[in-house]
């Protein structure tokens, strides 16, 4: 194996990304040096944060440069190892990005045990999205039995775990999703109510579903959903903010300035709005998360759903669809 | 004593209040019944929150009804008591509102000890504003030595205590105030930097004063000051929100929608924005606050400044001035 196929950022998107923003290339792999491994990508994770990396503006991470391979977490197989502790055939969690192969330093890789759970779950329920749900809910949401939690993008890898964990903690859980199929799935997962944000009377349905108001809004969407949620927040409500997918394709804003009313509500309702990236809590919580979540996945307490697309060439279309909610479950590209 | 003079809400203000929103009346006091006291107001506190009570919109408290006496905390003298534990001549902290006398239930009054500090301080540094500063800084700001704190309305009763307590905790403290006299006073109080928000290059001055960014922004103002502060917030910054005086006279909003950018910043910088009313922390913290702050006031660690207006008839003008920053220190009406 001497070549890798990769998808690079060809141009920065204006608004929603298009296939023209991506370019597929083949390049010759370097020799595997001491301390390095040669990886073959099995699964590539596609996640909303990647939209941010495509823009020039710095957010919490550096943007991808034009011509550079698109970033992304992968589940990869070791084809060749010149690093202690890694052997041919090992399956590891890596950051290879959108490419079929990579030669990389072994430091920072994490070996996956396929006996614990299917290895693809390291990109979802047992990975970054699952941990985002777990740490944000426990550390910022601080759920108390009897409270009401609302989560949007609720069939996604973060939202579905938030809702299921909140049910486990004894909360009333309302999930928001797009379309009847997703709404039906939320009921299957045991959510107390599931609401379609595409319904013309969405805001009224939401209000009716939370007669006691909302104590925790797990914010991963923003936009019209958030606008319907905020007026329903109770005193002392907590709003962990881990994503704002509705805004990622926006190029500026229009209409009335909603900021003063927003901050006024924070004041008058003693709200806590707390942005976070799961990495903040890794040291404190990840070992416990991995132990607990692996148990819950094994015994069926926490269910998960993967939306698997085959072939690296289909990654751009799948990612474009992710930003408009076309995926149903954790979006993963099977690369091999 | 059988009559009281009171100032009632004559009409709800549209924008900034005017004298026409208030009306002075004289009324006949009822007999003092069992469990009640007759109070004479010595000092009436004027505070920004009263603007909210003049509007019909419910915030964290019910609005004052048209024709009802304006609310307000008072330091009052007991003229007559039919309640156990209260005697003629006692000085108490009461909620008599904008009036010279009141017959009221003794339950809920707090007797003040003039030997601890001048009784007017129960409306300021040792009262609700001081406790707002103390609890919001400690519980939400969570100051750590070496961090940078910015506070606006910094010569006011909340801001001046926030800044002085933060200095005590070893923080770099930047105060914002309006006009050279207030700025000079902040330097006297030991603030590391003091900035006039009326300066044309205010935002640039602020940025220069916080080379390491801002870790705590104690928000009691909003408006243009907040807009200059937010871009300077560091990762994991905390923003206790106890007031938004710049917006209290607003009737809606105009211009571009700043909400998406605001929430985006919360996300990308892992910010904590936390509204609060000091009452939340009373049970947990007030005894400690009263003990510590009385000591600090007595030994000069914490200095305070009162802006005393004489005569209840001058309360409306003084209050109107408060909303545009004309006061210099804790605004109090000496009623007797």
Look over chain B and give the mean of its residue pLDDT values, rounded to a whole number.
91
**Percent of the residues in chain A that have a pLDDT greater than 70, as a whole number:** 97
Task: Give dist(CA B38, CA A114) in Å, integer.
Answer: 79
Q: Are residues B179 and B75 in the same domain?
A: no
pLDDT confidence tier of residue A84, bands split at 50, 70 and 90: very high
| Domain assignment present for B266 | yes
Residue B293 lies in a domain: no
- Residue B236 pLDDT: 87
Residue A73 to chain B, least CA–CA distance (Å): 20
Do B28 and B152 lie in a common domain?
Answer: no
B16 lies in some domain: yes
Residue B2 has pLDDT above 90, yes or no: no
Pick from A234, A264, A279: which residue ends a domain?
A279
Asked whether B251 and B14 are in contact (CB, 8 A), the reply is yes
Q: Are residues A133 and A120 in the same domain?
A: no
Same-domain check for residues B196 and B248: yes
In Å, what is the CA distance from A220 to each residue of A196, A229, A239, A307, B74?
16, 12, 10, 19, 46
For A185, A264, B12, B156, B302, the CA distances from B46, given in Å and listed in that order, are 55, 21, 18, 12, 21
Q: Which residues pair with A27 in a beta bridge?
A: A4
- CATH number of the domain at A221, please: 3.40.50.720
Q: Are residues A138 and A272 in the same domain?
A: yes
Do residues A19 and A47 share a domain?
yes
Looking at the predicted structure, is the pLDDT value of residue B59 above 70? no
Q: What is the 3-state secondary structure (H, E, C) of B128-158?
A: HHHHHHHHHHHHHHCCCCCCEEEECCCCCCC
Residue A175 pLDDT greater than 90, yes or no: yes
Query: B275: which strand partners?
Result: B241
Residues in chain A within 8 Å Cβ distance of B273 = 263, 266, 271-274
Residues B133 and B223 in one domain: yes
Q: What is the largest distance, in Å, between two alpha-carbon atoms of chain A?
A: 63
Domain encompassing residue A34: 3-124+304-334
pLDDT of amino acid A58: 65
Question: Does A257 reside within a domain?
Answer: yes
Q: What is the pLDDT of residues B246-283, one digit of tens each?
A: 777 777 655 677 787 787 778 777 889 988 888 788 88
Tell me the pLDDT tens digit for each residue of B129-167.
999 999 999 989 999 999 999 999 999 999 999 999 999
- Report chain B residues whose CB lies below 8 A from the CB of A231: none
Average pLDDT value for chain A: 91
**Position B102 pLDDT exceeds 80:** yes
Task: Quote the minimal CA–CA distance from B233 to chain A in Å.
Answer: 13
A138 lies within 8 A of chain B by CB: no
Residue A156 is assigned to a structural domain of this protein: yes
Q: How many CB atoms lie within 10 A of CB A8?
A: 20
Q: Are A172 and A155 members of one domain?
A: yes
pLDDT tier at A68, thresholds 50, 70, 90: very high
3-state percent breakdown (helix, strand, coil) of chain A, nearest 5: 35, 25, 40
> Could you tell me if residue A256 is inside a domain?
yes
- Interchain proximity A244–B257, CB inside 8 Å: no
Q: What is the ipTM of this complex?
A: 0.83
Count of the separate structural domains present in chain B: 2
Both A264 and A145 in one domain: the answer is yes
> Quick one: pLDDT at residue B148?
98
Whether residue B63 is found in the same domain as residue B156: no
3-class DSSP assignment, residue A271:
coil
Q: Is B178 found in the same domain as B98? A: no
Q: Chain-centre distance of CA B167, in angstroms?
A: 20
CATH of the domain at A48: 3.90.180.10
Q: Does any CB of chain B come closer than 8 Å to the CB of residue A60?
A: yes
Mark yes or no for CB contact A259/B257 under 8 Å. yes
A258 contacts on B by Cβ (under 8 Å) = 253, 257-259
Those of residues 270-329 in B touching chain A at CB distance below 8 A are: 270-277, 280
Verify that B46 and B82 share a domain, yes or no.
yes
Residue B101 within any structural domain of the chain: yes
Residue B247 is predicted with a pLDDT of 76
Q: Residue B247: closest CA among chain A residues belongs to which residue?
A: A260
Q: What is the pLDDT of residues A261-281, one digit of tens each?
A: 787 778 777 789 988 888 788
What pLDDT does A170 receive? 97
CB atoms within 10 A of CB B295: 12
The pLDDT of A30-59, averaged and rounded, is 92
| Domain assignment of residue B291, yes or no | no
- Write out pLDDT tens, residues A299-312: 888 888 999 999 99
């Amino acid at each position: 194996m001497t070549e890798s196929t990769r998808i690079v950022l060809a141009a920065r998107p204006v608004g929603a990304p298009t296939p023209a923003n991506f370019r597929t290339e083949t390049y010759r792999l370097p020799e595997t040096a001491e301390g390095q491994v040669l990886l073959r990508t099995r699964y590539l994770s596609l996640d909303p944060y990647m939209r941010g990396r495509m823009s020039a503006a710095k957010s919490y991470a550096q943007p991808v440069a034009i011509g550079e391979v698109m970033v992304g977490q992968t589940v990869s197989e070791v084809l060749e190892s010149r690093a202690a502790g890694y052997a041919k055939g090992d399956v590891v969690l890596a950051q290879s990005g959108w490419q079929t192969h990579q030669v990389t330093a072994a430091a920072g890789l994490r070996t996956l045990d396929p006996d614990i759970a299917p290895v693809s779950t390291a990109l979802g329920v047992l990975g970054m999205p699952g941990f985002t749900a777990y740490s944000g809910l426990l550390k910022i949401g601080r759920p108390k039995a009897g409270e009401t939690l609302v989560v949007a993008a609720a069939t996604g890898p973060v939202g579905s775990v938030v809702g299921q964990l909140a049910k486990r903690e004894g909360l009333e859980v309302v999930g928001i999703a797009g379309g009847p199929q997703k709404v039906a799935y939320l009921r299957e997962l045991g959510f107390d109510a599931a609401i379609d944000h595409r319904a013309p009377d969405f805001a009224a349905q939401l209000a009716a579903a939370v007669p006691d108001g909302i104590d925790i809004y797990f914010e991963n969407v923003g936009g019209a959903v958030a606008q319907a949620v905020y007026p329903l927040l109770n005193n002392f409500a907590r709003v962990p903010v881990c994503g704002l997918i509705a805004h990622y394709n926006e190029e500026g804003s229009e209409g009335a300035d909603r900021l003063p009313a927003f901050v006024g509500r924070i004041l008058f309702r003693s709200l806590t709005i707390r942005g976070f990236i799961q990495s903040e809590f890794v040291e404190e919580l990840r070992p416990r998360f991995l132990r607990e979540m692996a148990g819950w996945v094994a015994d069926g307490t926490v269910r998960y759903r993967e939306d698997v697309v085959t072939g690296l060439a289909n990654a751009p279309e799948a990612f474009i669809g992710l930003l408009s909610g076309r995926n149903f479950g954790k979006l993963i590209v099977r690369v091999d």
